[in-house]
Each structure stands twice: as structure tokens, then as C-alpha cells.
Chains A and B, each alone.
Chain A
Amino acid sequence: MEVKVELDRDIIFLKLSGGLVASTLEQLRNQIQKLVDKKYVNIVFDMSRVDFVDSSGLGLCISTARELAAISGKLVCCGLSDNVQKLFKMTRADQKVAVMASRMNAFEYMLSRLNDDPHGASVLHE
């Protein structure tokens, strides 16, 4: 799996390509940890190029959403394919992980969140 990192106004976009599956999770987990260590807590998984997610990949989305929420951050997943959307729905992950149709929707959602709660979302980046 390829992971491309982009930053736009305190929001991190992780552009994922390939399969979000058990064999590729360690790389992404490490990447997220490094970002959190640098106090980046608002993260978007751009999944428009993810063709498959297994239950381990789903678990990573759930745990990342929970961990970011615990430090006043947020995870948004966007650009899900039909089969990935189906997985999120059948497991109820869509009730715990914010899912947006497009990267633009995710960006606007994150921006409004930052504007609504400037103190909670304001972090000092190292």
C-alpha cells in the first residue's frame, strides 16, 4: 500500500492506494503515530484509491478514530468504494468513523470543526 502525506491548514490528508489489509497495516499505523507525536490530530484518510479493506483495516480505522477523539482530534474517511462502504455499514463502523463522499467534503467538514472549536483543535506543532 502506498501512503502519500499532504498537509493543508493543520489537516493531514493520507492518500492511500491499494489494499488496507492485515499485511499493510503496520506501515500506516507507524505513519499515524509519527503524526500524532507531532501533534497533528485531524487526519483524513483519502480512500479513493483503496480497492479493498479487510476486517483488520477496518479495525485500524475504528481504533484511529477513537485514539484521535481522545486527544480532541478527528478521523474522517473519504472516497470509499461501494464495497468498502458496505463493510463500514454492515459492521456499524460508519457510526463511529466519520465518512464523507469526497476529499472536498472532508476538508470542509474539518475546517468547520476547527472554526467551531479553535481552542480544542489548536495545537502546537513541533
Chain B
Amino acid sequence: MTAKWVFSIKPEFRSAEIVRRGVKAALNEWLGDASDSRTDDFCQVISELVNNAIEHGRCTFLAGELRTEDDKALFSLITDGVSFDPTAGKAEMPVFDENNNLPEGGYGLAIIDQLSDEWGYRYHDGKNETIVSKLFPKRVKEDTYGGKS
């Protein structure tokens, strides 16, 4: 079984919520298990990616798809506008400053980097495409004879 979910949506912050919920539903159907923490991690990544494109990419077009290949889920986000490579940004978790304060922003890219298995960017045909992936190893069930299926 494979999963595929395609979307094209207005680039505004509330769209991140719509995309996240759509991806979660597609992943749950594919995995048959809504409780997998990797699903939450991947949805967190996607939410940050969409928000980042809207906040910093200044796009007027936002589309993408979720697809699965074997045990891997891949999410592709396509936006218009000038070349905008989120992977070139700082992907380190913010640290405490000299007054022991924690910044209130700057977490998005670090969260994407930590919670995804791989992510990459390319600019083609006047569009930005960012792809993130995560492995969802299928659970191996042991049968009553000790074998595996």
C-alpha cells in the first residue's frame, strides 16, 4: 500500500494547519496506526516548513504532495518567488544568551533538521522545491511459531 496526497493552497499561516492535518490523515491511513510518534514528528516538520515558506519565502503560490516509497514518506513543498533555500539557513537550536534567556524565535529550521531523516532543496522552472523525508519502518509481527511475517 502506498500513500499520496496532493494539495495547492493559499499561502497564509492557517494553511499550515490544513496541510499538517491532511498529511497526518494520509499517514495514519498508510500506517494504519495513529499513535506512531514518528507521525507527530513528521507533521511537526511539515508545519515548520510551510510556516517558514510563508513567513520568509514571500510566496504567492504554495503547493505540494506527500508520497510514500517503501518505508519512506516524502513531503515536497513547492513555492514561487525568488530562490529561497531553507537548507542554507541556520539549523542549530537556539541557545541561552548571556542573561540566561532563551530566544523566542529561530527554532523552525532546527526542528526540521532534527526531526526529519533527510531534507533538501532545489530551484527549477522558477519554483522552489523543498523535500523532507522520514523512514517509517514497518512493524514486524511474530507469529505463534516464532517466525516473522
Pick the interface stretch among A15-23, A33-41, A72-80, A98-106: A15-23
A21 near B102 (CB under 8 angstroms)? no
A93, B116: Cα distance in complex, Å: 20
Q: Would you list which residues of chain A between 43 and 70 have a CB under 8 Å from chain B?
A: 52, 54-56, 58-60, 62-63, 66
Q: By the criterion CB–CB under 8 Å, are A55 and B37 in contact?
A: no
**Total chain B interface residues with beta-carbon distance under 8 A:** 29
Query: Chain A at the B interface: mostly helix, strand, loop or mixed?
Result: helix
Given contacts A23-B14, A82-B37, contact A60 B43 (CB under 8 A): no
Our count of residue pairs bridging A and B at CB distance below 8 angstroms stands at: 72
Instruction: Give the chain B neighbours of A30 by CB distance below 8 A.
Output: none
The answer for the CA separation of A89 and B29 in the assembled complex, in Å, is 29
Q: Please tell me which stretch of B64-72, B107-115, B121-129, B135-143 contacts chain A, meaning at least 4 of its Cβ atoms lie within 8 angstroms of it.
A: B107-115
Chain A residues whose C-beta falls within 8 Å of the C-beta of B96 in the assembled complex: 92
Q: Is the CB of B40 within 8 A of A55?
A: no
Q: Which of B1-50 contact A (CB under 8 A)?
A: 12-14, 16-17, 20, 37, 40-41, 43-44, 47-48
Known interface pairs A21-B47, A52-B47, A55-B51; A63-B13 also in contact (CB < 8 Å): no
Q: Hey, which bits of chain A sit against chain B, CB under 8 A?
A: 19, 21-23, 52, 54-56, 58-60, 62-63, 66, 82-83, 86-87, 90-93, 95-96
